[in-house]
Amino acid sequence: MTVNPGLNTRVNPKKLRPYDEPPKRRRSLIPGAPDSAATGFLVAALLWLALATGIGLLAALMRFVDFEFSIFISVPFLRFDVDFNRSLVDAAFANALVFGWLSNAGFAAATFMAPRLTGRKLFAEPLVVLGFLAWNSATLGGIALLYVFDQGPSSVLGSFPWFVEGGMAAGALIVAGSFLATVAPVLRSAYVSIWFAVIALLSVAGFTGLNALIGLLDYVIGLPDLAVALGTLLIDRATYLLWLLPMALASLYYVIPRATGQPLESNGLALLAFVALLVTAPVAVLSVAVDPAIPFLVTSAGSAATMALLFPIAITVVNLVLSTRGRWTLLFGTGPVAFAAVSMAFLLAAGMLDAIGTLGSVRDFVGGTDWVQGSQAWSLLGAFTFAGLAFSEHAISRVLHRDWGANVLSAAQLWSLFAGSTLAGVALMGAGMAEGAFRARAADAETIAAGVLGYHLVAFVGIGLAAIGGLAALANIFLAYTSGRPVQRAAPAQPAAASAGGH
Amino acid sequence: MTVHTPIESRGSRIPPWALLLALVVAVTAGVYLVANLAGENPPLAIPGTTPSAPAGSAEPDPEVGQALINSATPACTACHGADLTGSGSFPSLHGVANGPVSENLQDLAAENPDNWAELWIAGEPGGPTDGIERFGMPAFADQFDANQIASMVAYLKTLP
């Protein structure tokens, strides 16, 4: 045996004899390798998508066939009776979709993009993994607790108990802090996706924190019902406009140039869209503040800003479509560009519907009907979901280090979710308009229920198709990991001697 | 070398059509805002709450009545307009304190000057409103009790 001359000569080489194997690598309990957080968020997102669309299918069935059921969970000395009624299942669906699927996809996109666009390692990656655990355990707990605690006067997305919202806020704050620490040194010259993501992450941390604060104050000092209802309703709206929308735009601005391999058409236009969103979205939040306690002018300003919100969406769509010039065939495939194109079409349509729905006369006609859910189906299951899937299609092979591209499962996701969200949105909006017309004729409840039955059947079929798409997305990432050929890719912001490229 | 692959841009110029579009959108939103400066929002339907008159209270409460008017099915605002000033052929509910707002209710008001509005909203079968053409107005006796309907009328009487 030869002893490594570089070893400290004071060590007795004989003592090394039984132990001269290289030391085993110690695996950390909390993964900290590059892309650990992005991988966790992406996998969790796709699990949530399958779960959320499954709950959505139950919610749609309960619209079509009016029924309620109860289950009981029994543990020693304790028995929980859980009632499944339509409003609780609706709330579980919305929360699983927004805080489960879409939020995890947003966090995945942010933690994936930051190192690749800045050339800097994600700050405190193990801490971000803890943030991932905090967010997802809180969201799962919150949905379970919907069936335990009374929702009270809170809105749908503010219906978790305050301590659950606190856990979510902590998770979001960790991700936002890490993201900011990563991009801060290069923020002034950063690509527009980073700017959108900064606004989105600060918003989600702030709004979940505000929800927790409202819940805590209500618990401790008992706030008026109107204050809680209005506060949480405004936060709901802000979650759509300042978290989900900018994160969807950040993903689209990232995915299309990457997937087409072409530069962005105009950086100036992208920054104009960012500034326009920053100006209009916070004011557009006010459009839901509809109560005599709120000055009419404030609500009208919110409605006007909602109309103006079409501008940043429209110029983003034009900018990204022009960036695809010369690679039009990608639009007709099943890769990230096709998903992004569907997302942009839904973004435009949902933006227009939002602008129409905010008009006072339309609100009077369809307020409190399924119109609202139909319009949200197009934004949540259409625009934001397809932006998330465009990112997912781009990122799966990169974070899992597998040779995996568009396949039959991608096509299943694309077409079943496209058909499903289109059908569900149209049917629910149709049900809302039909109900509005019945109400204007002073029809009784039975006549209204019979009149919207057909619409609810179509909505059920639509959500069923979307659920198939969700399962296909989950199967896709599972097969990518188990069946994809391992490839070496350089980790982002690390020496790239063995890089297979393609970030 | 690091794997830092920035996304390039073909240019930084903002095309003139984008500025024109910004102007069109701003003008449209501005016109809408100017046309909707004054008015009153309807009450917010607070989730999970069914407003009702206080138990055992015989005193009608206009605040409770305002919430009930919004929670009715169909909502009063669906036909009578968001601010209850009327919509199409549906009459305004402002000025109820001064008497009936519709021709078909004159006789009812003459015979029941103190509670004609409560009777009309309730519309109980076999009651004094039988035989009066309702023109699509639902009867709310099944939804609300007498106290609640009295609160709704108390609110309507506060409207100028």
Question: Which structural domains are found in chain B, ordered by start?
Answer: 62-156 (1.10.760.10)
Is the predicted pLDDT of residue A47 greater than 90, yes or no? yes
Interface confidence (ipTM) of the complex: 0.78
Tokens of residue A169, six digits: 């806020």
d(CA A251, CA A392): 10
Please answer yes or no on whether B11 and A265 come within 8 Å at the CB atom: yes
**Residues 6+ positions from A91 with CB-CB distance below 8 Å:** A146, A151, A156, A159
For residue A79, the surrounding DSSP H or E stretch is strand A78-84
Looking at residues A378-388, what average pLDDT do you find? 94
Q: Residue B137: which pLDDT band, with cuts at 50, 70 and 90?
A: confident
Q: Is residue A345 part of a domain?
A: yes
Distance separating alpha carbons of residues A172 and A209, to the nearest angstrom? 9
- Min Cα distance B17 → chain A (Å) is 10
pLDDT of residue A125: 92
Q: What is the mean pLDDT of residues A160-169?
A: 94
Chain B residues with beta carbon closer than 8 angstroms to that of A500: none
B130 against A127, higher pLDDT: A127
pLDDT in the model for residue A349: 95
Q: Is the pLDDT of residue A3 over 90?
A: no
Rounded to 5 degrees, φ, ψ at A91 are -65, -40
**Nearest residue, CB atoms, A310 vs list B25, B81, B82:** B25
- Greatest alpha-carbon pair distance for chain B in Å reads 94
Say whether pLDDT at A483 is over 80: yes
Residue at A359 is within a domain:
yes
- pLDDT averaged over every residue in chain A: 87
pLDDT in tens, A410-432: 888 889 999 999 999 999 999 99
For residue A302, the Cα-to-chain-centroid distance in whole angstroms is: 24
Q: What is the pLDDT of residues B19-76, one digit of tens each?
A: 999 999 999 999 999 998 888 787 787 776 554 444 334 577 787 788 778 777 777 8
A7 part of a folded domain: no
Give CA–CA dist B138/A441, Å, rounded.
Answer: 9
Closest to A428 (Cα-Cα) out of A90, A97, A67, A100: A90
| Residues in B 19-58 with any Cβ partner in A closer than 8 A | 21-22, 25-26, 28-30, 32-33, 36-49
Structural domain contains residue A5 = no
Label residue A8 by pLDDT band (50, 70, 90).
low
pLDDT of residue A137: 96
Partner A contacted by B9 (CB < 8 A): yes
**A7-11, A282-286, A362-366: the lowest-pLDDT one:** A7-11
Query: Cα separation of A201 and A207, whole Å?
Result: 10
Structural domains counted in chain A = 1
**Residue B20: CB atoms within 10 Å:** 10
What is the SS3 assignment for A321-354? HHHCCCCHHHHHCCCHHHHHHHHHHHHHHHHHHH
Tell me the chain A residues in contact with residue B40 when contact means C-beta distances shorter than 8 Å.
Answer: 292, 296
* Non-local CB neighbours of A141 within 8 Å, separated by 6+ positions: A164, A167
Asked if residue A239 is part of any domain, the answer here is yes
Is residue A14, in this structure, part of any structural domain at all? Answer: no
**Token match 């501005």: residue?**
B30
Residues of chain B with C-beta less than 8 angstroms from the C-beta of A301: 33
pLDDT class of A496 with cuts at 50, 70, 90: very low
Q: How confident is the model at residue B4 (pLDDT cuts 50, 70, 90)?
A: low
Selecting from B18, B78, B136 the residue whose C-beta is nearest the C-beta of A364 gives B78
Residue A73 predicted with pLDDT over 70: no
The DSSP output letter for A221 is H
pLDDT tens digit sequence for A190-246: 899 999 999 999 999 999 999 999 999 999 998 888 899 999 999 999 999 999 999
Contacts of A258 in chain B (CB under 8 A): 7
Residue A155 is assigned to a structural domain of this protein: yes
Q: Give me the CATH number covering residue A285.
A: 1.20.210.10
Alpha-carbon gap, residue A10 to A15, rounded angstroms? 11
Structural domain harbouring A265: 29-486
- Domain for residue A60, yes or no? yes
Of A483, A328, A465, nearest to A396 (Cα)?
Answer: A483
pLDDT higher than threshold 50 for residue A157: yes
Longest dimension (CA), chain A: 98
The residue with greater pLDDT, A391 or B68, is A391
